[in-house]
Amino acid sequence: MAATPVTLEPTTLPSLRLSAKYSGLRIDAVRTNATLEAACTWGNTSDGGMNRLTCNNDDKSVRDWFISETKKYGCHHRVDEMGNIFAIRPGQNNNLPPIGLGSHLDTQPTGGKYDGILGVVCGMEVLRVLHANSITTYAPVAIINWTNEEGARFPPAMLCSGVWGGEFTVKYAQGRQDLEGNTLGGELKRIGYMGPTPCSFEANPLLAHFEVHIEQGPILDVAEKPVGIVRGVQSIRWYNVGVQGREAHTGTTPMDRRSDALLGAAKMIVETNRIVTETEVASRGGRATIAVINSSPQSINTIAGKVNIGLDIRAPADSDVGLIEKQCREGFAKICQQHSLEMTFDNFWISPALNFDPTMVECVKQSSSQIGCDIEIVSGAGHDSVYTSRKVPTAMIFVRCKDGVSHHPAEYSRDEDCAAGAEALLGAYLRYDDYIRRSTAKI
């Protein structure tokens, strides 16, 4: 049965101290790692990585395991029509929706053991600590496995948190197909995970959403810190840029009579890099990348007549993404003029900058500072928390990963770093639960 969402009053941040009764709670690194290894029983690969695509038999097995494990700590379960699993441990006030601690158990086809899996495991470790210490929190808590975060089998990514957060319809999401034409809906039914609960915040609300995730970047590794405080997710825009020149023979066409679309595109790639490394946006974390290129006619002795490139621009601030875009448009136009090229510049996707909930971020800060971590990071990548933040206060904790490598079998986080992530989550979550207790008491 769905609880009712509540509106919380603003609070002053200093009141977020951890209750004395919780101050001795610790996460065990050996046990955390054992849980992680258990979660990787199905779909692991000989190179130390994982290949557990959404709704394959390994995904069914790990879901069964997740339900059976969380039952041991007093949880009942809701499975929604997108296969999202909510393992709910009751609190003192079960009229409140649960506080969610979520991430995902699916992986890339050549992925690692940490991306997503660590977030679910950290939630499970929080459960164990509550259970071992006979703690009944104020609000209920839900450890969540979001379906198909990677989107590797059923694009796009973050599909089922997206349905819950109102970005996609159930019909669209259930109809997504893999390369063999199997639908996500059909595969959810096949493995027995198309549940009866409607998939939406409105029908199945949360009070808030915390997520632990590996950083997937090098900041913490360079800083030698186990965890980081995620302030939000950077602004992202994607573009298709088309460059039209004139095909001509490489042997007979003088250099000064060419409209070489590939030369123009190459200059655009170099100019894009210059903008984000040499202009003012560089110091504000601006990033721009061209990683997709298609040239035609791909004949060694015919000058390229048509090239398409994919441009990815990111920055913590929307205004900086706009500024980078403006500089690219102007720089590219000059290149086109220089080489007699025509250009199309199409912005096909926008994801505005996202700031996580200040109260929740403060909870993360305080718990992180207790383990000596104070680095704040703006996430460069999307996560399920992007879509939960559309509906409920949300925050994230990043865990250091070696060399910033992810989506690769070499993806690695140390046992003690994984435990530090769980401990930061435990402290942040308990602070927030206390904050809820005090806030609702005032209502």
In the stretch 195-234, what mask flags binding to a second copy with x, by CB under 8 A?
--------------------xxxxx--------------x
For a second copy, the closer CB: 6 or 269: 269
For a second copy, the closer CB: 271 or 342: 271
407 binds a second copy (CB under 8 A): yes
For a second copy, the closer CB: 61 or 296: 296
In the stretch 253-292, what mask flags binding to a second copy with x, by CB under 8 A?
xxxxx--x-xx-xxx-xx--x--xx----x----x-xxxx
Alpha-carbon gap, residue 171 to 244, rounded angstroms:
39
Alpha-carbon gap, residue 25 to 45, rounded angstroms:
35
The H-or-E segment that residue 60 falls in is helix 57-71
For residue 211, which of 94, 64, 100, 341 has the smallest C-alpha distance? 100
249 binds a second copy (CB under 8 A): yes
Question: Could you tell me the smallest distance in angstroms from the CB atom of residue 379 to a second copy?
Answer: 8
Question: Could you tell me the smallest distance in angstroms from the CB atom of residue 158 to a second copy?
Answer: 13
How far CA 175 is from CA of 181, 279, 375, in Å, comes to: 10, 45, 41
340 binds a second copy (CB under 8 A): no
Candidate residues 74, 198, 380, 402; the one interacting with a second copy per rule CB under 8 A: 380
Classify each residue of 31-48 as buried b or exposed e, where b means 16 or more C-beta atoms within 10 Å of its C-beta: ebbebbeebbebbbbeee
How many residues does this entry show for the chain? 443
Question: Could you tell me the smallest distance in angstroms from the CB atom of residue 166 to a second copy?
Answer: 23
Question: Could you tell me the smallest distance in angstroms from the CB atom of residue 22 to a second copy?
Answer: 32
**Does the bond joining 297 to the residue before it have cis omega, within 30 degrees of 0?**
yes
CB 284 within 8 A of CB 353: no
Question: Could you tell me the smallest distance in angstroms from the CB atom of residue 287 to a second copy?
Answer: 6
Alpha-carbon gap, residue 73 to 135, rounded angstroms:
11
Candidate residues 20, 300, 441, 443; the one interacting with a second copy per rule CB under 8 A: 300
Question: Could you tell me the smallest distance in angstroms from the CB atom of residue 98 to a second copy?
Answer: 30
295 binds a second copy (CB under 8 A): yes
For a second copy, the closer CB: 136 or 273: 273
Q: Which stretch binds a second copy (CB under 8 A): 66-74, 127-135, 323-331, 399-407?
A: 399-407
β-strand partners of 376: 229
Alpha-carbon gap, residue 307 to 242, rounded angstroms:
6
298 binds a second copy (CB under 8 A): yes
Residues 6+ apart with CB under 8 A from 243: 261, 264, 265, 268, 306, 307, 308, 309, 336, 341, 342, 343
Candidate residues 2, 135, 238, 342; the one interacting with a second copy per rule CB under 8 A: 238
Please give the torsion angle defined by the CA atoms of residues 48, 27, 204 and 79, in that order, rounded to the nearest 10 degrees. 40
For a second copy, the closer CB: 132 or 410: 410
10 binds a second copy (CB under 8 A): no
Q: Which stretch binds a second copy (CB under 8 A): 37-45, 126-134, 302-310, 324-332?
A: 302-310
Tell me how many helices (H) and strands (E) the chain has: 12, 13
DSSP state, 41?
Answer: S
Question: Could you tell me the smallest distance in angstroms from the CB atom of residue 333 to a second copy?
Answer: 17
> Six-digit token pair at 66?
């997740």
For a second copy, the closer CB: 161 or 359: 161
Classify each residue of 87-98 as buried b or exposed e, where b means 16 or more C-beta atoms within 10 Å of its C-beta: bbbebebeebbb
115-134 residues near a second copy, rule: CB under 8 A: none
For residue 103, which of 132, 88, 82, 124 has the smallest C-alpha distance? 124
Alpha-carbon gap, residue 327 to 319, rounded angstroms:
12
β-strand partners of 232: 355, 378
Applying CB under 8 A, the site for a second copy has a residue count of 57
Candidate residues 251, 283, 441, 443; the one interacting with a second copy per rule CB under 8 A: 251
Question: Could you tell me the smallest distance in angstroms from the CB atom of residue 290 to a second copy?
Answer: 6
310 binds a second copy (CB under 8 A): yes
389 binds a second copy (CB under 8 A): no
- Which residues would be at the binding site for a second copy (CB under 8 A)? 215-219, 234, 236, 238, 247-257, 260, 262-263, 265-267, 269-270, 273, 276-277, 282, 287, 289-293, 295, 298-304, 310, 312, 314, 379-382, 404-408
